[in-house]
């Protein structure tokens, strides 16, 4: 019976993911919504199980492995000044503003500090899709955005690892270290000829099995019924997620002596939190930094930024 439920989750996540892309949304959004649809929030036909968690953890590993394999260090070095300033400012604003906001709204210090880590991340895949669609992936702007996004994610992964050790009660298991290990492994494997074949196989396995189950499993954890009184905080988090990353990255770009149009485009390209923020949220849950109730607020805010980001990106990219 468990295998049939996993098959149901897989089919629905893949279908809704493809439908999401047809409507101009990220595939991740459709996959998350499928978990919400099948989980306790709505139909309640699929519950998180140990096997689903194992598949989801494998999905995280492959996702981060592929991120490492796609990280061109040579290309990043060409734009190291600009990407470092953009990544740095794109991290500084969320790390300062989110904890203050969470504390003002009555959240604990631990959850407030963790919020800064979650919203400092940037989604590479969603930005990649929009850059590819507008044929700007091979441009200097594309290289700078991707380099800055990779740096953002490395910072976020290190931060959540340290957070788990020193603030999360030392409750750091292999699941918490897995993304960082996989990312580093991907960067190391990129040096070898076999890396292209590994990347091709792992991408196919991820896209057609492990990624949908991972994102769907996160949706299963969302309790929509308990979010009625949290609509205002979620809206505040979502607006701040857009503003802090957009203007932080814009300031970093301007400090790098880039023009106004390209700086605005880079700011937009860094907004989406997508899969990386979801990986960090999952680490937070497994390390007992946040609970399932609080994680729902994080996840909904991430979904909103993931939907909004391409809408903001597309017109600004066209101006460059």
For the chain, the domains span: 2-318
Handedness of CA 304, 211, 91, 313 (dihedral sign): negative
Confidence of residue 172 (pLDDT cuts 50, 70, 90): low
Over range 92-112, report the average pLDDT: 95
Averaged pLDDT of the chain: 86
Query: Does pLDDT of 105 surpass 90?
Result: yes
Provide, for the chain, the percentages of residues in helix, strand and coil under a 3-state DSSP scheme, each rounded to the nearest 5: 80, 0, 20
Q: Of 62-66, 138-142, 254-258, 295-299, which one has max mean pLDDT?
A: 254-258
Confidence of residue 171 (pLDDT cuts 50, 70, 90): low
CA contacts within 13 A on the Cβ side of 287: 29
Query: Does pLDDT of 213 surpass 90?
Result: yes
- The CATH number of the structural domain formed by 2-318 is 1.20.1530.20
pTM of the model: 0.81
Let me know if 118 is exposed, middle or buried by CB neighbors in 10 A (0-12, 13-18, 19+): buried
Over range 189-193, report the average pLDDT: 88
């Amino acid at each position: 019976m468990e295998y049939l439920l996993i098959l149901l989750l897989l089919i629905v996540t893949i279908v809704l993911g493809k439908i999401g892309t047809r409507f101009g949304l990220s595939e991740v959004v459709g996959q998350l919504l499928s978990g919400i649809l099948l989980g306790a929030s709505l139909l309640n036909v699929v519950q998180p199980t140990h096997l689903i968690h194992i598949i989801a953890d494998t999905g995280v590993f492959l996702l981060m492995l592929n991120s490492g394999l796609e990280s061109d260090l040579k290309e990043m070095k060409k734009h190291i000044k600009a990407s470092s300033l953009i990544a740095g400012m794109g991290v500084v604003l969320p790390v300062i503003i989110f904890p203050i906001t969470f504390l003002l709204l009555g959240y604990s210090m631990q959850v407030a500090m963790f919020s800064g880590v979650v919203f400092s991340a940037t989604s590479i895949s969603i930005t990649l899709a929009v850059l590819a669609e507008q044929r700007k992936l091979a441009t200097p702007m594309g290289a700078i955005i991707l380099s800055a996004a990779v740096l953002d994610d490395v910072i976020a992964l290190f931060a959540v690892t340290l957070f788990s050790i020193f603030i999360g009660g030392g409750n750091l298991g292999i699941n918490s270290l897995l993304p960082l290990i996989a990312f580093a492994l991907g960067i190391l494997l990129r040096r070898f000829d076999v890396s292209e074949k590994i990347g091709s196989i792992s991408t196919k396995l991820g896209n057609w099995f492990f990624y949908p189950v991972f994102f769907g499993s996160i949706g299963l954890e969302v309790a929509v019924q308990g979010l009625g009184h949290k609509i205002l905080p979620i809206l505040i988090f979502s607006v701040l997620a857009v503003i802090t990353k957009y203007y932080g990255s814009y300031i970093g770009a301007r400090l790098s002596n880039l023009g106004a149009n390209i700086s605005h485009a880079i700011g937009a390209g860094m907004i989406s939190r997508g899969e990386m923020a979801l990986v960090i949220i999952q680490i937070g849950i497994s390390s007992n930094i946040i609970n399932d109730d609080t994680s729902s607020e994080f996840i909904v805010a991430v979904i909103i930024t993931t939907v909004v980001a391409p809408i903001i990106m597309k017109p600004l990219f066209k101006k460059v």
